[in-house]
Amino acid sequence: MALIPPPGAPIRRSPRTDDHIDWDLRDPLTAEVSKGLLTTTVEKAIAWTQTSAIWPATFGLACCSIEMMHTLSPRLDMGRFGAEYFRGTPRQSDLMIVAGRLTQKMAPVVRHIYDQMLEPKWVISMGACASTGGVFNNYAVVQGVDKILPVDVYVPGCPPRPEGLMEGIDVLRKKIGVNGQVTSTELIAQRRAERAEWDKQHAAELEALREMSAGHDVLQAGDAPEVEPVVAEAQAEALAAAEARAADDDAEAPRA
């Protein structure tokens, strides 16, 4: 009846279809060997051209499409990556950004449009509904677009901020292999290592900072200053000043 399995059934996702998408995650030996060959340069060039002009197919289904439009707006210009040219026909596009809820009724249509796209093609699943069904865990919504399409990048959020979608496109570009750069996961690990290195080098300064803030971050029970008398005093003062002003006004009032 539907693409939703009964509760308790194992949850299966569709497998990757294109091996060449993970081409820069090959085992290190192959990667090292291929670096010395001329074909690697050609592959990198091709990958660079592919990443520089990813033409998405318009596939905004629901609310996430608004944030996708914001990513096109001048503030976060998707055109910087050559991706502002949203094609109306899937036959001329490389990327399908599934933005929004996918209903059971729409599922065969999406699959049909995906099949009409030419290789190489990529899919970004934007938002919680496209990734896992989001808040709509019911009979009408397909629980994740990866039930029917192979997805390359998931962008979580409800809706994800336009910067989030921008990072999703950035991750996709790294996945395709722009300029032979490392993928996003390796980049994160690299940065984490760099930060740890910096912490070790500047350990003395960090220690001094911690010394300064010692005792200030946690307020003990006996340390709380007496607030009430001070506040009461200030209030009494303000009241007296207001009364004085009122008395002055009354004195001046019978003028007209």
Partner 1 sequence: MSDVSAQIEAASPGAVVAEFEHVGELTVEVQKERIVEACRALRDGPSQYVLLSDVTCADFPHEPGRFRLAYQLTSLATGARVRLRAWAGALDPEIESVTSVWPGANWMEREVYDQFGVRFSGHPDLCRILNPLDWEGHPLRRDYPIGGEEVQFSDAV
Query: Min. distance of Cβ 29 from partner 1 in angstroms?
Result: 36
Q: Please, what is the end-to-end C-alpha distance for the chain in angstroms?
A: 86
Round to whole Å and give the CA distance between 42 and 48. Answer: 10
The nearer residue to partner 1, 141 or 172, going by C-beta atoms, is: 141
The nearer residue to partner 1, 102 or 117, going by C-beta atoms, is: 102
The nearer residue to partner 1, 44 or 111, going by C-beta atoms, is: 111
3-state secondary structure of 36: coil
133 phi/psi in degrees, rounded to 5: 95, -10
The nearer residue to partner 1, 147 or 173, going by C-beta atoms, is: 147
Which stretch of DSSP H or E encloses residue 69?
helix 64-72
Closest CA to 3 of 152, 149, 164, 176: 149
The nearer residue to partner 1, 7 or 229, going by C-beta atoms, is: 7
Query: What are the DSSP calls for 121-183, one per residue?
Result: -EEEEEHHHHHH-TT--SSSB-S-GGGTS--SEEE-SSSPPHHHHHHHHHHHHHHHTGGGPPP
Query: Min. distance of Cβ 104 from partner 1 in angstroms?
Result: 6
Query: Min. distance of Cβ 171 from partner 1 in angstroms?
Result: 24
The nearer residue to partner 1, 40 or 103, going by C-beta atoms, is: 103
Please identify which residue in the block is written with the tokens 């032979």: 180
Query: Min. distance of Cβ 142 from partner 1 in angstroms?
Result: 10
Closest CA to 179 of 38, 49, 66, 33: 49
Give yes or no for a contact between 167 and 124, defined as CB atoms under 8 angstroms apart. Answer: no
Query: Min. distance of Cβ 10 from partner 1 in angstroms?
Result: 10
Query: Min. distance of Cβ 59 from partner 1 in angstroms?
Result: 20
Residues of this chain that bind partner 1 (CB under 8 A): 1-2, 4-9, 11, 104-105, 133, 136-141, 143
